[in-house]
Structure 1
Amino acid sequence: MPGDSDTGTEVPDLVDPQRLGTQPQTARGQRTRDNLVRAARTVFERDGYVDSRLVDIVAEAKCSIGSFYTWFDSKDEVFAAVLHEAQSDMLHPGTGRIETSDDPVAIIGASNRAYFEAYRRNARLNQLLQQVSAVDPRFREMRRARSAAFVTRNARAISDLQARGLADRQVDPEMAAKALSGMIARLAYDVFVIDDEERVDDLVETATRLWTNALGLTSPELRAD
Protein backbone atom coordinates (compact mmCIF):
# COMPACT_ATOMS: atom_id res chain seq x y z
CA MET A 1 0.00 0.00 0.00
CA PRO A 2 1.23 3.54 -0.68
CA GLY A 3 2.33 5.23 2.47
CA ASP A 4 4.79 6.10 5.17
CA SER A 5 4.60 6.95 8.83
CA ASP A 6 5.11 10.72 8.75
CA THR A 7 1.59 11.65 9.86
CA GLY A 8 1.62 10.26 13.37
CA THR A 9 -0.06 6.98 12.41
CA GLU A 10 2.15 4.23 13.77
CA VAL A 11 2.88 1.70 11.04
CA PRO A 12 3.84 -1.78 12.29
CA ASP A 13 7.01 -3.45 11.10
CA LEU A 14 6.78 -6.10 8.41
CA VAL A 15 7.95 -8.68 10.94
CA ASP A 16 8.04 -9.28 14.68
CA PRO A 17 11.36 -7.75 15.84
CA GLN A 18 11.59 -10.50 18.46
CA ARG A 19 11.83 -13.17 15.76
CA LEU A 20 14.89 -12.03 13.86
CA GLY A 21 17.29 -14.62 15.22
CA THR A 22 20.45 -14.00 17.24
CA GLN A 23 22.26 -10.69 16.83
CA PRO A 24 26.08 -10.94 16.43
CA GLN A 25 28.46 -9.37 18.91
CA THR A 26 31.48 -9.39 16.60
CA ALA A 27 32.23 -8.03 13.13
CA ARG A 28 32.95 -11.53 11.89
CA GLY A 29 29.66 -12.81 13.19
CA GLN A 30 27.86 -9.88 11.56
CA ARG A 31 29.45 -10.68 8.21
CA THR A 32 28.38 -14.31 8.46
CA ARG A 33 24.83 -13.42 9.41
CA ASP A 34 24.57 -10.76 6.68
CA ASN A 35 25.81 -13.30 4.14
CA LEU A 36 23.14 -15.79 5.24
CA VAL A 37 20.41 -13.15 4.93
CA ARG A 38 21.55 -12.22 1.41
CA ALA A 39 21.72 -15.88 0.43
CA ALA A 40 18.28 -16.53 1.90
CA ARG A 41 16.76 -13.71 -0.14
CA THR A 42 18.32 -15.14 -3.31
CA VAL A 43 16.94 -18.61 -2.58
CA PHE A 44 13.50 -17.39 -1.49
CA GLU A 45 13.11 -15.24 -4.60
CA ARG A 46 14.35 -18.06 -6.84
CA ASP A 47 12.45 -21.00 -5.35
CA GLY A 48 9.58 -19.46 -3.39
CA TYR A 49 9.11 -19.72 0.35
CA VAL A 50 7.48 -23.15 0.48
CA ASP A 51 10.06 -24.87 -1.74
CA SER A 52 13.12 -23.17 -0.27
CA ARG A 53 15.33 -25.42 1.86
CA LEU A 54 17.90 -24.59 4.50
CA VAL A 55 20.48 -26.70 2.66
CA ASP A 56 20.04 -24.46 -0.39
CA ILE A 57 20.45 -21.32 1.72
CA VAL A 58 23.67 -22.49 3.34
CA ALA A 59 24.97 -23.68 -0.03
CA GLU A 60 24.28 -20.23 -1.49
CA ALA A 61 26.00 -18.64 1.51
CA LYS A 62 28.88 -21.11 1.29
CA CYS A 63 28.69 -21.96 4.98
CA SER A 64 27.68 -24.91 7.14
CA ILE A 65 24.27 -25.76 8.51
CA GLY A 66 25.83 -25.33 11.95
CA SER A 67 26.63 -21.71 11.11
CA PHE A 68 23.02 -21.18 10.10
CA TYR A 69 21.74 -22.44 13.45
CA THR A 70 24.14 -20.13 15.25
CA TRP A 71 22.04 -17.21 14.06
CA PHE A 72 18.61 -18.58 13.16
CA ASP A 73 16.33 -21.28 14.56
CA SER A 74 14.26 -21.87 11.43
CA LYS A 75 13.39 -20.89 7.89
CA ASP A 76 10.72 -18.46 9.05
CA GLU A 77 13.27 -16.62 11.23
CA VAL A 78 15.67 -16.07 8.36
CA PHE A 79 12.74 -15.01 6.16
CA ALA A 80 11.79 -12.48 8.84
CA ALA A 81 15.39 -11.22 8.78
CA VAL A 82 15.21 -10.86 4.98
CA LEU A 83 12.04 -8.78 5.28
CA HIS A 84 13.52 -6.72 8.10
CA GLU A 85 16.57 -5.86 6.00
CA ALA A 86 14.40 -4.91 3.00
CA GLN A 87 11.55 -3.10 4.72
CA SER A 88 13.12 0.37 4.62
CA ASP A 89 13.33 0.05 0.83
CA MET A 90 9.88 -1.52 0.59
CA LEU A 91 8.41 1.48 2.43
CA HIS A 92 7.89 4.67 0.49
CA PRO A 93 6.48 8.18 0.81
CA GLY A 94 2.72 8.18 0.58
CA THR A 95 -0.07 10.71 0.48
CA GLY A 96 0.37 11.59 4.13
CA ARG A 97 1.68 15.08 3.45
CA ILE A 98 -1.01 16.22 1.03
CA GLU A 99 -2.79 18.19 3.73
CA THR A 100 0.18 20.59 3.96
CA SER A 101 0.96 20.85 0.27
CA ASP A 102 -0.08 23.67 -2.04
CA ASP A 103 -0.49 21.07 -4.78
CA PRO A 104 -1.90 17.83 -3.35
CA VAL A 105 -2.16 16.33 -6.83
CA ALA A 106 1.59 16.68 -7.29
CA ILE A 107 2.18 14.99 -3.94
CA ILE A 108 -0.14 12.12 -4.88
CA GLY A 109 1.77 11.71 -8.15
CA ALA A 110 5.13 11.70 -6.37
CA SER A 111 3.81 9.26 -3.79
CA ASN A 112 2.51 6.90 -6.45
CA ARG A 113 5.85 7.02 -8.25
CA ALA A 114 7.76 6.24 -5.05
CA TYR A 115 5.42 3.32 -4.34
CA PHE A 116 5.66 1.80 -7.82
CA GLU A 117 9.44 2.15 -7.97
CA ALA A 118 9.85 0.55 -4.54
CA TYR A 119 7.47 -2.25 -5.50
CA ARG A 120 9.34 -2.89 -8.73
CA ARG A 121 12.67 -3.17 -6.87
CA ASN A 122 11.13 -5.67 -4.47
CA ALA A 123 8.52 -7.36 -6.67
CA ARG A 124 9.60 -10.92 -5.87
CA LEU A 125 9.77 -10.16 -2.16
CA ASN A 126 6.30 -8.61 -2.22
CA GLN A 127 5.04 -11.74 -3.94
CA LEU A 128 6.72 -13.90 -1.31
CA LEU A 129 5.15 -11.86 1.47
CA GLN A 130 1.71 -12.64 0.04
CA GLN A 131 2.57 -16.34 -0.16
CA VAL A 132 3.84 -16.51 3.41
CA SER A 133 0.87 -14.50 4.72
CA ALA A 134 -1.42 -17.17 3.26
CA VAL A 135 0.20 -19.94 5.33
CA ASP A 136 1.51 -18.16 8.44
CA PRO A 137 -1.03 -16.39 10.68
CA ARG A 138 1.67 -14.20 12.26
CA PHE A 139 2.76 -12.71 8.95
CA ARG A 140 -0.88 -12.40 7.91
CA GLU A 141 -1.78 -10.41 11.03
CA MET A 142 1.22 -8.09 10.67
CA ARG A 143 0.33 -7.49 7.03
CA ARG A 144 -3.29 -6.77 8.00
CA ALA A 145 -2.17 -4.34 10.70
CA ARG A 146 0.10 -2.49 8.27
CA SER A 147 -2.67 -2.22 5.70
CA ALA A 148 -5.05 -0.88 8.33
CA ALA A 149 -2.49 1.73 9.43
CA PHE A 150 -2.00 2.95 5.87
CA VAL A 151 -5.76 3.16 5.29
CA THR A 152 -6.15 5.17 8.51
CA ARG A 153 -3.39 7.54 7.41
CA ASN A 154 -4.82 8.02 3.93
CA ALA A 155 -8.34 8.48 5.29
CA ARG A 156 -7.07 11.27 7.57
CA ALA A 157 -5.36 12.97 4.63
CA ILE A 158 -8.54 12.75 2.55
CA SER A 159 -10.56 14.22 5.42
CA ASP A 160 -8.12 17.12 5.65
CA LEU A 161 -8.52 17.82 1.93
CA GLN A 162 -12.28 17.79 2.33
CA ALA A 163 -12.06 20.22 5.23
CA ARG A 164 -9.98 22.54 3.06
CA GLY A 165 -12.58 22.40 0.30
CA LEU A 166 -10.19 20.64 -2.09
CA ALA A 167 -11.90 17.24 -2.27
CA ASP A 168 -15.44 15.97 -2.74
CA ARG A 169 -17.11 16.05 0.68
CA GLN A 170 -19.60 13.39 -0.38
CA VAL A 171 -16.84 10.75 -0.53
CA ASP A 172 -16.45 8.61 2.59
CA PRO A 173 -12.76 9.05 3.55
CA GLU A 174 -12.20 5.57 4.95
CA MET A 175 -13.93 3.74 2.12
CA ALA A 176 -12.10 5.88 -0.42
CA ALA A 177 -8.77 5.16 1.28
CA LYS A 178 -9.46 1.41 1.21
CA ALA A 179 -10.54 1.46 -2.44
CA LEU A 180 -7.72 3.65 -3.73
CA SER A 181 -4.97 1.98 -1.71
CA GLY A 182 -6.21 -1.42 -2.83
CA MET A 183 -6.27 -0.27 -6.45
CA ILE A 184 -2.65 0.90 -6.28
CA ALA A 185 -1.46 -2.32 -4.65
CA ARG A 186 -3.28 -4.47 -7.20
CA LEU A 187 -1.93 -2.45 -10.12
CA ALA A 188 1.61 -2.90 -8.84
CA TYR A 189 1.14 -6.64 -8.37
CA ASP A 190 -0.38 -7.17 -11.81
CA VAL A 191 2.26 -5.15 -13.65
CA PHE A 192 5.43 -6.10 -11.79
CA VAL A 193 4.63 -9.65 -10.68
CA ILE A 194 2.07 -11.07 -13.12
CA ASP A 195 3.11 -9.25 -16.31
CA ASP A 196 6.75 -8.62 -15.31
CA GLU A 197 6.71 -5.18 -16.94
CA GLU A 198 8.37 -1.90 -15.97
CA ARG A 199 5.96 0.78 -17.18
CA VAL A 200 6.34 3.09 -14.21
CA ASP A 201 5.54 6.33 -16.07
CA ASP A 202 2.28 4.94 -17.46
CA LEU A 203 1.32 3.58 -14.06
CA VAL A 204 2.00 6.87 -12.32
CA GLU A 205 -0.02 8.90 -14.80
CA THR A 206 -2.98 6.53 -14.76
CA ALA A 207 -3.02 5.93 -11.00
CA THR A 208 -2.72 9.63 -10.23
CA ARG A 209 -5.59 10.50 -12.56
CA LEU A 210 -7.74 7.84 -10.93
CA TRP A 211 -6.86 9.05 -7.42
CA THR A 212 -7.52 12.70 -8.20
CA ASN A 213 -10.67 12.07 -10.24
CA ALA A 214 -12.09 9.88 -7.48
CA LEU A 215 -11.52 12.63 -4.90
CA GLY A 216 -12.59 15.48 -7.17
CA LEU A 217 -9.11 17.06 -7.21
CA THR A 218 -7.65 18.94 -10.17
CA SER A 219 -4.33 20.51 -11.10
CA PRO A 220 -3.18 22.23 -14.30
CA GLU A 221 -0.94 19.29 -15.19
CA LEU A 222 -3.83 16.83 -15.17
CA ARG A 223 -6.47 18.90 -16.97
CA ALA A 224 -7.44 17.67 -20.38
CA ASP A 225 -6.09 19.67 -23.29
Structure 2
Amino acid sequence: MSRRTELASRTRADLLAAARRLFAERGYLDTKVADIATAAGRAVGSFYTHFSDKDEILAVLRRELDEAALPGPAGDDEIREHITACSTAMRSHRPAVTALLQSAIAAAPASGRLWRELTSRTAPLRRQLENRRDRGEPLPGDPELVAAAVGVLLAGLQHALPTDDGRIADTVANLVLHGLAGPRPFVSAENRPSR
Protein backbone atom coordinates (compact mmCIF):
# COMPACT_ATOMS: atom_id res chain seq x y z
CA MET A 1 0.00 0.00 0.00
CA SER A 2 1.42 3.40 -0.96
CA ARG A 3 1.99 6.08 1.66
CA ARG A 4 -0.70 8.27 0.08
CA THR A 5 -3.23 5.43 0.18
CA GLU A 6 -2.28 4.65 3.77
CA LEU A 7 -2.76 8.30 4.82
CA ALA A 8 -6.11 8.50 3.04
CA SER A 9 -7.26 5.31 4.73
CA ARG A 10 -6.18 6.62 8.14
CA THR A 11 -7.94 9.96 7.53
CA ARG A 12 -11.16 8.18 6.57
CA ALA A 13 -10.95 5.95 9.67
CA ASP A 14 -10.27 8.99 11.89
CA LEU A 15 -13.29 10.82 10.45
CA LEU A 16 -15.54 7.79 11.05
CA ALA A 17 -14.24 7.41 14.61
CA ALA A 18 -14.84 11.11 15.29
CA ALA A 19 -18.37 10.87 13.88
CA ARG A 20 -19.14 7.87 16.09
CA ARG A 21 -17.82 9.68 19.16
CA LEU A 22 -19.72 12.90 18.43
CA PHE A 23 -22.95 11.11 17.53
CA ALA A 24 -22.72 9.30 20.88
CA GLU A 25 -22.00 12.51 22.81
CA ARG A 26 -24.12 15.09 20.98
CA GLY A 27 -26.42 13.14 18.72
CA TYR A 28 -26.63 13.22 14.95
CA LEU A 29 -28.67 16.40 14.62
CA ASP A 30 -26.33 18.48 16.80
CA THR A 31 -23.14 17.35 15.04
CA LYS A 32 -21.89 19.32 12.05
CA VAL A 33 -19.39 18.29 9.38
CA ALA A 34 -16.96 20.87 10.76
CA ASP A 35 -17.28 19.29 14.22
CA ILE A 36 -16.39 15.87 12.81
CA ALA A 37 -13.38 17.22 10.92
CA THR A 38 -12.12 19.14 13.98
CA ALA A 39 -12.59 16.14 16.29
CA ALA A 40 -10.62 14.01 13.82
CA GLY A 41 -7.85 16.62 13.68
CA ARG A 42 -8.49 17.20 9.99
CA ALA A 43 -9.53 20.11 7.79
CA VAL A 44 -13.12 20.34 6.58
CA GLY A 45 -11.88 19.93 3.00
CA SER A 46 -10.39 16.59 3.95
CA PHE A 47 -13.83 15.49 5.15
CA TYR A 48 -15.24 16.26 1.70
CA THR A 49 -12.45 14.30 0.04
CA HIS A 50 -13.82 11.16 1.71
CA PHE A 51 -17.54 11.87 2.20
CA SER A 52 -20.01 14.03 0.33
CA ASP A 53 -21.94 14.93 3.49
CA LYS A 54 -22.91 13.76 6.96
CA ASP A 55 -25.53 11.41 5.47
CA GLU A 56 -22.79 9.49 3.67
CA ILE A 57 -21.03 8.85 6.98
CA LEU A 58 -24.37 7.70 8.34
CA ALA A 59 -24.70 5.27 5.41
CA VAL A 60 -21.29 3.75 6.27
CA LEU A 61 -22.31 3.39 9.92
CA ARG A 62 -25.62 1.81 8.82
CA ARG A 63 -23.76 -0.82 6.77
CA GLU A 64 -21.51 -1.62 9.76
CA LEU A 65 -24.59 -2.02 11.96
CA ASP A 66 -26.33 -4.21 9.37
CA GLU A 67 -23.33 -6.51 9.15
CA ALA A 68 -23.16 -6.81 12.93
CA ALA A 69 -26.91 -7.42 13.31
CA LEU A 70 -27.05 -10.56 11.21
CA PRO A 71 -28.45 -13.24 13.52
CA GLY A 72 -26.66 -16.53 13.78
CA PRO A 73 -28.22 -19.88 13.03
CA ALA A 74 -31.72 -20.28 14.42
CA GLY A 75 -32.08 -22.56 17.40
CA ASP A 76 -35.10 -23.41 19.50
CA ASP A 77 -36.39 -19.86 19.56
CA GLU A 78 -35.40 -17.97 16.41
CA ILE A 79 -37.34 -14.83 17.42
CA ARG A 80 -35.56 -14.52 20.78
CA GLU A 81 -32.21 -15.17 19.07
CA HIS A 82 -32.97 -12.57 16.39
CA ILE A 83 -33.97 -9.92 18.94
CA THR A 84 -30.88 -10.71 21.05
CA ALA A 85 -28.56 -10.47 18.02
CA CYS A 86 -30.09 -7.15 16.98
CA SER A 87 -29.95 -5.73 20.50
CA THR A 88 -26.32 -6.78 20.90
CA ALA A 89 -25.40 -5.19 17.55
CA MET A 90 -27.29 -2.02 18.49
CA ARG A 91 -25.47 -1.83 21.82
CA SER A 92 -22.05 -2.20 20.21
CA HIS A 93 -22.99 0.31 17.47
CA ARG A 94 -24.94 2.68 19.71
CA PRO A 95 -23.72 5.89 18.01
CA ALA A 96 -25.01 4.62 14.66
CA VAL A 97 -28.36 3.63 16.20
CA THR A 98 -28.69 7.08 17.78
CA ALA A 99 -27.82 8.81 14.51
CA LEU A 100 -30.14 6.64 12.41
CA LEU A 101 -33.03 7.12 14.81
CA GLN A 102 -32.56 10.89 15.05
CA SER A 103 -32.13 11.28 11.31
CA ALA A 104 -35.27 9.28 10.50
CA ILE A 105 -37.39 10.98 13.17
CA ALA A 106 -36.27 14.42 11.96
CA ALA A 107 -37.63 13.73 8.47
CA ALA A 108 -41.12 15.04 7.77
CA PRO A 109 -43.78 12.52 8.84
CA ALA A 110 -45.39 12.66 5.39
CA SER A 111 -42.10 11.52 3.84
CA GLY A 112 -42.60 8.04 5.28
CA ARG A 113 -38.85 7.79 5.89
CA LEU A 114 -39.11 6.43 9.44
CA TRP A 115 -41.62 3.76 8.38
CA ARG A 116 -39.48 2.73 5.39
CA GLU A 117 -36.41 2.58 7.63
CA LEU A 118 -38.23 0.48 10.23
CA THR A 119 -39.82 -1.94 7.80
CA SER A 120 -36.64 -2.51 5.81
CA ARG A 121 -34.50 -3.02 8.93
CA THR A 122 -37.03 -5.35 10.57
CA ALA A 123 -37.87 -7.43 7.47
CA PRO A 124 -36.05 -10.58 8.77
CA LEU A 125 -38.09 -10.49 11.98
CA ARG A 126 -41.27 -9.89 9.98
CA ARG A 127 -40.54 -13.04 7.95
CA GLN A 128 -40.04 -15.07 11.15
CA LEU A 129 -43.36 -13.77 12.49
CA GLU A 130 -45.09 -14.58 9.20
CA ASN A 131 -43.72 -18.14 9.42
CA ARG A 132 -45.22 -18.50 12.90
CA ARG A 133 -48.54 -17.10 11.70
CA ASP A 134 -48.51 -19.50 8.74
CA ARG A 135 -47.98 -22.41 11.17
CA GLY A 136 -51.12 -21.32 13.00
CA GLU A 137 -49.41 -19.68 15.98
CA PRO A 138 -51.21 -16.58 17.26
CA LEU A 139 -49.56 -13.19 16.88
CA PRO A 140 -50.48 -9.94 18.61
CA GLY A 141 -51.05 -8.24 15.25
CA ASP A 142 -49.85 -7.77 11.69
CA PRO A 143 -46.29 -9.20 11.37
CA GLU A 144 -44.95 -6.06 9.67
CA LEU A 145 -46.34 -3.82 12.40
CA VAL A 146 -45.16 -6.11 15.21
CA ALA A 147 -41.65 -6.27 13.69
CA ALA A 148 -41.55 -2.47 13.30
CA ALA A 149 -42.70 -2.06 16.91
CA VAL A 150 -39.84 -4.31 18.05
CA GLY A 151 -37.42 -2.19 16.01
CA VAL A 152 -38.70 1.02 17.63
CA LEU A 153 -38.51 -0.54 21.10
CA LEU A 154 -34.96 -1.76 20.62
CA ALA A 155 -33.70 1.47 19.03
CA GLY A 156 -35.52 3.69 21.51
CA LEU A 157 -34.27 1.77 24.54
CA GLN A 158 -30.70 1.66 23.22
CA HIS A 159 -30.92 5.42 22.74
CA ALA A 160 -32.56 6.13 26.11
CA LEU A 161 -30.52 3.89 28.41
CA PRO A 162 -26.87 4.87 28.86
CA THR A 163 -25.90 1.25 29.44
CA ASP A 164 -27.59 -2.08 28.88
CA ASP A 165 -26.99 -4.96 31.24
CA GLY A 166 -28.70 -7.35 28.86
CA ARG A 167 -32.22 -6.69 30.05
CA ILE A 168 -33.33 -4.93 26.85
CA ALA A 169 -33.19 -8.02 24.62
CA ASP A 170 -34.81 -10.30 27.21
CA THR A 171 -37.54 -7.81 28.03
CA VAL A 172 -38.43 -7.09 24.41
CA ALA A 173 -38.29 -10.79 23.46
CA ASN A 174 -40.55 -11.71 26.39
CA LEU A 175 -42.94 -8.93 25.43
CA VAL A 176 -43.15 -10.20 21.84
CA LEU A 177 -43.35 -13.87 22.75
CA HIS A 178 -45.57 -13.67 25.85
CA GLY A 179 -47.26 -10.28 25.87
CA LEU A 180 -47.67 -8.24 29.02
CA ALA A 181 -48.26 -11.36 31.13
CA GLY A 182 -44.64 -12.41 30.64
CA PRO A 183 -43.43 -15.97 30.37
CA ARG A 184 -45.58 -18.58 32.05
CA PRO A 185 -43.97 -20.14 35.10
CA PHE A 186 -43.03 -23.78 34.72
CA VAL A 187 -45.47 -26.10 36.45
CA SER A 188 -44.38 -29.70 36.81
CA ALA A 189 -46.82 -32.50 36.00
CA GLU A 190 -47.34 -33.39 39.66
CA ASN A 191 -48.17 -29.79 40.59
CA ARG A 192 -50.70 -29.21 37.79
CA PRO A 193 -54.26 -28.77 38.97
CA SER A 194 -56.56 -31.63 38.06
CA ARG A 195 -59.47 -30.90 35.76
TM-score scaled by length of structure 2: 0.70
Give the aligned residue type for 1:92.
L
Q: Measure the CA separation in 2 of the matches of 1:63 and 1:145.
A: 37
| Number of aligned positions between the proteins | 178
Spell out, residue by residue over 1:106-163, the C-alpha distance to the aligned partner (whole angstroms, 9 max, x if none). Answer: x33322322222222233421221211133459647514514634541343223533x
Which segments of 5 or more consecutive residues in structure 1 lack a partner in the other structure?
Answer: 1-24
1:178 correspondence with 2:145: yes
Q: Residue 26 of structure 1: SS of its match in structure 2? A: helix
- Equivalent of residue 119 in structure 1, options 90, 94, 97: 90
Counterpart of 2:130 in structure 1: which amino acid?
Answer: R
2:176 to 200, 211, 216: 211
Q: Structure 1 122/206 Cα, relative in aligned 2: closer, same or farther at 3 Å?
A: same
Note the C-alpha offset of 1:197: 4.1
Identity %: 23
What TM-score results when the alignment is normalised by the length of structure 1?
A: 0.62
Change beyond 3 A, Cα 1:60–1:145: same
Compared CA separation, residues 63 and 213, structure 1 to 2 (3 A): closer
Letter of the structure 2 residue corresponding to residue 56 of structure 1 = D
**Residues 76-133 of structure 1 deviation map (CA, whole Å, 9 limit, x = unaligned):** 22332333334322x2318x94xxx5x3x3x333223222222222334212212111
Secondary structure of the corresponding residue to residue 184 of structure 1: helix
Tell me: CA distance 1:45–1:183, structure 2 relative to 1, closer, same or farther (3 Å).
same
Q: Structure 1 residues 76 and 192 mapped into 2: Cα distance closer, same or farther (>3 Å)?
A: closer
Query: Are 2:79 and 2:128, in contact at CA under 8 Å, matched by a contact in 1?
Result: no
The Cα RMSD (Å) is 3.4
Where structure 2 has 5 or more consecutive residues not aligned to the other structure, the ranges are: 188-195
Task: Map 1:139-158 to 2 at 5 A.
Answer: 140=114, 143-147=117-121, 149-150=123-124, 152-158=126-132
